[in-house]
Amino acid sequence: MPIRIRIPISIPSPLVHIPVHHLSTPPHAIFFYTEVDVQAEEQAAYRNTSLRPGAAGKPVLLPSHLPAEAEAEAAMIGTSRLEFVFIQVCIIGLHYLAPLCLLYCTLIAGLYGLRYVVESPLPLIVELLAGAEALFFLLVYLPNRYYLQREAVHPPTPRREQRKQLFYLCNDNIANPEAYLQKWFLGAELKDIKRENLKEFLLWAFFNRGGPPGDDDEELEEYVGATEKLLGRPIEIGTGKAKCLRLTLDRVDMLHRSLLWYFCVGFVDFLTCLKLLYHGFHFHRTALSQFFTLFPFRPISLLTTHRSPAKHITYWHRPHTSPTKPLVVFIHGIGIGLYPYTNFLAQLNSMSGLETANHEEQVGIIAIEVMPVSFRITHAALAKSEMCSEIEQILMKHLTPGQKCVLVSHSYGSVVTTHLLHTPSTAALIGPVVLIDPVTVLLHLPDVAYNFVRRQPKKANEHQLYYFASMDMGVSHTLSRNFFWNQSVLWKQDLEGRRVTVSLSGRDLIVDTEAVGRYLSKDRVVANEHLTANEYAISNEHATTNEHADIIGNRGRVLIEFEGRLDLQDPIMSVRGGDCHGDKETRSCSENGSSELKLDREGWKSQPWRGTGTDIIWFKELDHAQVFDRHATRQKIIDAIFTYCNGE
């Protein structure tokens, strides 16, 4: 079977450059591609590293990196100086177009009046476009910027025993408490994080509110005491000058998008429609009365005859005919919609994916569209219950009684996946799960929130993420007013009893994938397993911190690494092949033990894919979302889906 190689077609003007990748997906540096079928050595290399079991059904070892020739295909912008200059030119051109048009129209109207429009030496179309950009800025962006600052509607405050369980579950998965606090407090010095500052953060994180502690002060004192024990030092009384990140209480930051930008988004959506229609997908629209609630408008909604049973959610569907196999449901991440995933969906729908010669055994695909995070002006992101209800309606329309689906999600899509798994009615419809660059595992760590909404960009790819994703009007509002971490965090026990594949990228600029991989892997640096939920559920809600410490003290505390540092809280630990010992301040390891410790910590990256329990596919050299850029990397994900669908 020939391999598809993408050939970039550049556009002369930087103003029409469209980054088309993902939260959570940093956009591409080049925005149009054509594809040609060629034979390549990569094809043979892929066949040697396939996930699909051999004749004996044995697992196949996955390489942790790709050949150099495959790396050259990557289209995501890098970190070179030239790329930095290029992305800055694109951002400046797109961002300042509207203010310049507004300034131009104001000066012309003030100096010459409307007669200048008739007598202007500039083409009429230029004058009209300048006026349209100015009006769009004044009548659309500015009102929305004000309107979207409304307070978030937080979910109900959990009961005290639920808060306590969640707090200690989080506390026991923090390897570097100093770095953890500093990042949640936006890089503040530890001396500036005092007792009242920490309470302010805890109120937001576990009580879903701001304001004074009030009647919750006793419980907060317990949590502060547990944090002091984790730090190994007391926290000073009073209020310091540190400010914490409280995503749903802080201001909604956004930057203007020009009318030209939305024209480009609409054009890319048109290309997406053409490609998905070509590959056998049908578009399911919402009611026609919803047509003007989405901008840019979608002509496909007026042309399709298929209707979504949901009020807000549209989707693309490939018909399912197999009576025995599960269908596949895909949920995309933050970005320009399904365009970055069209090659993935096409490949999934081909003979190298789920396509078969038997028309009675075709596996269907449903690609859900999440428009509030797709660079559109539309309704606010749906609440957890509403999102799950609408997706359940879609699944019930296409699933037969007793049938389940293989749920595949990328990046922000893992938030929706977590909600579906936490909701009993939808969880019952889900079989195996594939998580690609998930952002919800260990979501209590500050990396995702900080890197996406608060990190000041320095490198070229960080500027892409910041301007084209983080500062988009809809994306920013979704994350700042409709993204509640304690509803969306995914723990390992949430995946128990399911076949799960997790794809992680070694150079992910959003997620601490090293920590996530170690947490999910079966082999641990320390022998103790993750504490069960029952060990966290304290029947007596007045139990003291010491009682909690007794419960968990005999099993060890820290299971993950934070920012490249492994801090074990047990006073003494032993590692196979060498001795490590010491207290909180000092630790020493023999040279042999140190090397084997590293081997244990890194071993999960090269574990064979087995198709049972939780498997991890590690792409050492890839950044967030780059797994979708190449045929070989996409195929590894598709092989996992193929195995799940065929019950192998």
Both 467 and 323 in a single domain?
yes
Q: Is residue 3 part of a domain?
A: no
Residue 172 is predicted with a pLDDT of 92
Q: Is residue 84 part of a domain?
A: no
Asked whether the predicted pLDDT for residue 164 surpasses 50, the reply is yes
Q: Which residue has the tokens 């071993």?
A: 603
On average, the pLDDT of the chain sits at 81
Q: What is the pLDDT of residues 541-561, one digit of tens each?
A: 333 333 333 333 333 333 333
Residue 257 is predicted with a pLDDT of 93
Listed range (108-122, 221-235, 374-388) with the worst mean pLDDT: 108-122
Residue 117 is predicted with a pLDDT of 60
Q: What does the DSSP assignment read for 483-502?
A: --HHHH-B-GGGGTTS-EEE
If one compares 352 and 186, the residue with the highest pLDDT of the two is 186
Asked whether the predicted pLDDT for residue 537 surpasses 80, the reply is no
Pick the last residue of a domain from 105, 123, 147. Answer: 147
Residues 373 and 313: their CA atoms lie apart, in Å, by 12
Residue 18 is predicted with a pLDDT of 38
Both 299 and 168 in a single domain?
no
Which domain covers residue 351, as residue numbers?
A: 265-522+612-645
Residue 360 is predicted with a pLDDT of 86
Residue 248 is predicted with a pLDDT of 97
Determine if residue 613 is left, alpha or beta; phi over 0 gives left, psi from -120 to 50 gives alpha, anything else beta: left
In the chain, the percentage of residues whose pLDDT exceeds 90 is 67
Residue 119 is predicted with a pLDDT of 67
In a 10 Å sphere around its CB, with 0-12 CB exposed, 13-18 middle and 19+ buried, how is residue 62 labelled?
A: buried
* Mean of pLDDT values over 133-151: 96
Asked whether the predicted pLDDT for residue 130 surpasses 70, the reply is yes
Expressed in angstroms, the distance from the first to the final Cα of the chain is 23
Asked whether the predicted pLDDT for residue 588 surpasses 50, the reply is no
Contact status, residue 226 vs residue 167, Cβ threshold 8 Å: yes
Residue 15 is predicted with a pLDDT of 35
Q: Which residues contact 639 (CB under 8 A, 6 or more apart)?
A: 50, 51, 52
pTM, 2 dp: 0.80
Taking each helix axis as running N to C, give the angle between helix 41-48 and helix 631-645, from 0 to 180 degrees, rounded to the nearest 10: 40
Asked whether the predicted pLDDT for residue 445 surpasses 50, the reply is yes
CATH of the domain at 345: 3.40.50.1820
Question: What's the number of domains the chain is made of?
Answer: 3
Both 206 and 355 in a single domain?
no
Q: Which residue has the tokens 């365009």?
A: 339
Q: What is the pLDDT of residues 238-292, one digit of tens each?
A: 999 999 999 999 999 999 999 999 999 999 999 999 999 999 999 999 999 999 9
Both 190 and 317 in a single domain?
no
Residue 6 is predicted with a pLDDT of 39
Contact status, residue 3 vs residue 631, Cβ threshold 8 Å: yes
Residue 481 is predicted with a pLDDT of 97
* Mean of pLDDT values over 603-622: 93
